[in-house]
Amino acid sequence: MIELYQLAWSPYCLVLRRILEYADVAFKTINVPVNDRSAVWKMTRQRYYAVPVIRDGKTVIFETDEYSQVEAKYLSGKFELELFPRCFQGIDRLLWRYIEDDVEGSGFRLNDIHYQEFVPKSQWLPFLRHKERKFGRGCIDQWRQQQAQWEEKLAQQLVPFELMLQERPFLVRPEPHFIDFDLWGILSNFLYTGHYKLPAAQNRLNEWFARMSKIKKGKSASEKLHT
């Protein structure tokens, strides 16, 4: 059985978890403490300590750089999901960089201001320390004060995706592409605490998100017929 080592709220872990659910295969999730990555470090033979990491029997899969998508490509190939078709190569790289830089940058800040609701209390200090070492002392308080601006920024960043959904049920083709899962994971992180909703004016994006939240492999065609 495939094992997914994760932080339950991590956008990138959410991406892989939704792909596994879409593939309709049995898998197990293992939550990794914020302050203890020793299990991942050992499993990857001291080559990696971040999450997500996938273990498939004796095979351990992890990312090789910030945008490698090694794990998603592994799952796509193993379960014949065709999430990375050649006809979109290049275009998809531009899109996932925008999603993982711009959209994720707004989404995770809005989620993180509520970290005490989803991070175990024993891990609050290492979580806060990690954030402040990366973004500066008091960053979460600053994001909390800027909440309205970050929400507006995110709404504007999502406009291109609303437009992409004008004539098709998914973002770049009639079937789900990795880009759909990537954006879904980033938005699921933003929505994780239940404090937010997707912009109400972006009707197609809201419908797409609901569709992506439940779709399984082999059911894309029926989804298209009812869109």
pLDDT digits (tens, 9 = 90+) for 58-106: 999 999 999 999 999 999 999 999 999 999 999 999 999 999 999 999 9
Q: In the prediction, which pLDDT does 83 show?
A: 98
User: Residues 107, 112, 116, 119: what is their CA dihedral angle, to the nearest 10 degrees?
Assistant: 80
Q: In the prediction, which pLDDT does 220 show?
A: 54
> What pairs with residue 53 in β-bridges?
5
Q: Whose structure tokens read 């990794």? A: 32
**Fold of the domain built from segment(s) 87-225:** Glutathione S-transferase Yfyf (Class Pi); Chain A, domain 2 (1.20.1050)
Q: What ranges do the domains of the chain cover?
A: 2-78, 87-225
Q: Percentage of the chain surpassing pLDDT 90? A: 96
What is the C-alpha separation between 51 and 56, in angstroms, rounded? 15
Q: In the prediction, which pLDDT does 188 show?
A: 98
- 3-state SS of the chain: helix, strand, coil percent to 5? 55, 5, 40
Under CATH, domain 2-78 is a member of which superfamily? Answer: Glutaredoxin (3.40.30.10)
What is the C-alpha separation between 80 and 87, in angstroms, rounded? 17
Q: Which of 59, 9, 5, 58 is nearest to 36 (CA)?
A: 5
Instruction: Kindly tell me if the per-residue pLDDT of 221 is higher than 80.
Output: no
Q: What is the mean pLDDT of residues 153-176?
A: 97
Per-residue pLDDT band for 218 (boundaries 50, 70, 90) equals confident
List, for residues 107-132, the tens digit of each pLDDT value: 999 999 999 999 999 999 999 999 99
Q: In the prediction, which pLDDT does 227 show?
A: 43
Q: In the prediction, which pLDDT does 219 show?
A: 67
